[in-house]
Structure 1
Amino acid sequence: MNRQAQAAVLFLLGSALLHAGLTDLYLRYVKAGLRPMLLAAGVVLVAAAAATVWYEWRARRQEPGHEAHVHPEPRVSWLLVLPLLALILVAPPALGSYSALRTGTALQQPYGYAALPADGPLRLNLVDYAGRAAYDHGRSLRGRQIKVTGFVALDGKGKPYLVRMALNCCAADAQPVKVGLTGRIPPVLRPDTWLEVTGTYTARRAKDPVNGGPIPFIEVSGAAPVPAPKDPYDETWNN
């Protein structure tokens, strides 16, 4: 790989990072808070490509026949093309039910609980509901209508769960938080379908068969399919 090829790869890789960072594509790879760093990396790569082209052009002008003395770069440098192809050709889907059922729940006891509205239905993040139900024994949830959203996972026995994948840094470390469904469960559920579930708190809970972590339940009174959110991962679990 000569310098011109290196510059082209750097430019294309930087452009791909900028494209991902300026659209929602980056949310398939990293948490939303890393967007500025991703954009900065793209700018640096594009600038490095431009600098490489400029220095090569200046060296040729100052030293005629410069190209004849250039030694070939190691062939391993072509591995730089692999992340470029991954960004351009492969847009991985968000992790779903397959990963969720093979990984133990990541639910952790919150440091505290934000105040909730005094009346009306509660629209809660699934991780927030799970934390309050499992560790606060539903004290702030009793007698309230609750709405939570997540994707469906069905275990080997057909038991349904509503799940969000909790994200610490990037998709590689995503772990599930699971809420069991009981009550008026829709008769037909498809794995990875996103649902908005309406229901009430129940003290019922189970242990995750993978790691023994707590799985709280929600008493379902209604459920409706919804589009997958722009950001499929949850980032609140360890904040």
Structure 2
Amino acid sequence: MVAVKAMDERTQAVLLLALAAISIRLGLSSAALAYIKPGLQPALLVAGIALALLGGHGLLRSLRSGPSPGGDGADHDHRHAPGVAWLLMVPLLALLLIAPPALGSFAVDRQGSAPPASAGVGFLELPAPREGAVDLALREYVSRALYDPGRSLDGVPVRLVGFATPDDDGGYRLSRFTVNCCAADATAFSVEVVGDAARPPDTWLEVTGRWEQRPGHEPGTLSDEPPVIVAEQVSVIPAPDEPYEY
């Protein structure tokens, strides 16, 4: 049974090292931003180092214990059972070698197009314009467009960044996720783009335009539909290093 125990410890140690490699890789690269907010990367790196130390210690201990002197016979029949645990390495290696993309239009559709509610109070002064337009996060644009009774966006050219999410009318919404901690708690914010042709799903865009009040909706009241932006200029851009807003 010593051989079986050694194999068990060795398997556990290697799995810990694989998890450590993934954590360290994510902690040192922008790939982690598909899962967590930037402020959590140092904690992920520390966790990876701790897992590496534990895995390394366990592997050395299992190697030092060695096989049992009479490891043939009954023990030999059981050595293959712990080997099933090595199948757990497949998804871990896939995660290590192939980083999945950040949440996109499919996840937006699963959440639905109804915008999150907002208190609609305490809006700060808009930032100074850059090259003729005010840069706004999608989340802030949605909040101001729907819930600001002071209509701070009225007549103001704004610039938004997000990815295309096709809608049922042949157009598209500009969408982006906001996270508080990680992708598991991500909330999608979307605006309906008017004045531009349909775009392929998940195409990252920079849209410059102006707010237009949606008929039947009074700013400051709840809405079941996303706000509107009338596009004046739309540019295809590379996906940003930080795909989420925080």
Q: Which residue of 2 aligns with 1:217?
A: 228
Structure 2: how far apart are the matches of 1:92 and 1:196?
23
1:188-227 residue pairs with structure 2 within 5 A?
A: 188-204=198-214, 213-227=224-238
Equivalent-residue separation in structure 1 for 2:233 and 2:171 (angstroms): 17
Q: Secondary structure at the match of 1:176?
A: strand
In the TM superposition, residue 82 of structure 1 has moved relative to its aligned partner by 4.7
Q: Which residue of 2 aligns with 1:3?
A: 9
Q: Is the aligned partner of 1:133 residue 2:145?
A: yes
Is 2:24 the partner of 1:15?
no
CA displacement, residues 137-195 of structure 1 (integer Å, 9 cap, x when unaligned): 4622222211111111111221321111222333234332110112x32x352221111
CA distance in 2 between counterparts of 1:132 and 1:205 reads 16
Aligned-partner SS, 1:200: strand
Matched residues in 2 for 1:79 and 1:200: separation? 54
- Structure 1 residue corresponding to 2:123, chosen from 101, 113, 121: 113
Q: Which residue of 1 aligns with 2:174?
A: 162
Q: CA deviation at 1:75?
A: 5.7
What is the RMSD computed on CA atoms of the aligned residues? Answer: 3.0
Gaps spanning 5+ residues in structure 1: where?
Answer: none
TM-score of the pair, normalised by structure 2: 0.77
Q: Partner letter of residue 148 of structure 1?
A: L
- SS of equivalent residue, structure 1 residue 234: coil
Q: Which amino acid aligns with 1:155?
A: D
d(CA) in 2 for partners of 1:57 and 1:193? 51
* C-alpha deviation, 1:98, in angstroms: 2.3
Q: Is the 8 A contact 1:199 1:218 kept in 2?
A: yes
Shift of residue 35, structure 1, vs aligned partner: 1.2
Identity of aligned residues (%): 39
By how many angstroms is 1:136 displaced?
A: 0.4
The 2-side partners of 1:29 and 1:53 are apart by: 29
2:110 to 102, 108, 125: 102
| Cα distance change on mapping 1:48 and 1:134 into 2, 3 Å | same
Conserved 8 A contact 2:27-2:44: yes
Tell me: CA distance 1:8–1:124, structure 2 relative to 1, closer, same or farther (3 Å).
Answer: same
Please give the per-residue CA displacement for 1:90-136, whole angstroms capped at 9, x wherever unaligned: 42122222221232245331563333235652110111111111100
Q: How far apart are the structure 1 equivalents of 2:160 and 2:62? A: 57
Amino acid of the residue matched to residue 4 of structure 1? R
Choose which of 134, 147, 172 in structure 1 pairs with 2:184.
172
Shift of 1:54: 3.7
**C-alpha distance in structure 2 between counterparts of 1:112 and 1:27, whole Å:** 30
Cα gap change, 1:198/1:179 in structure 2, threshold over 3 Å: closer, same or farther?
same
List gaps (5 residues or longer) in structure 2.
1-6, 218-222
| TM-score, normalised by the number of residues in structure 1 | 0.79
Count of matched residue pairs: 226
Give distance in 2, aligned partners of 1:206 and 1:25.
42
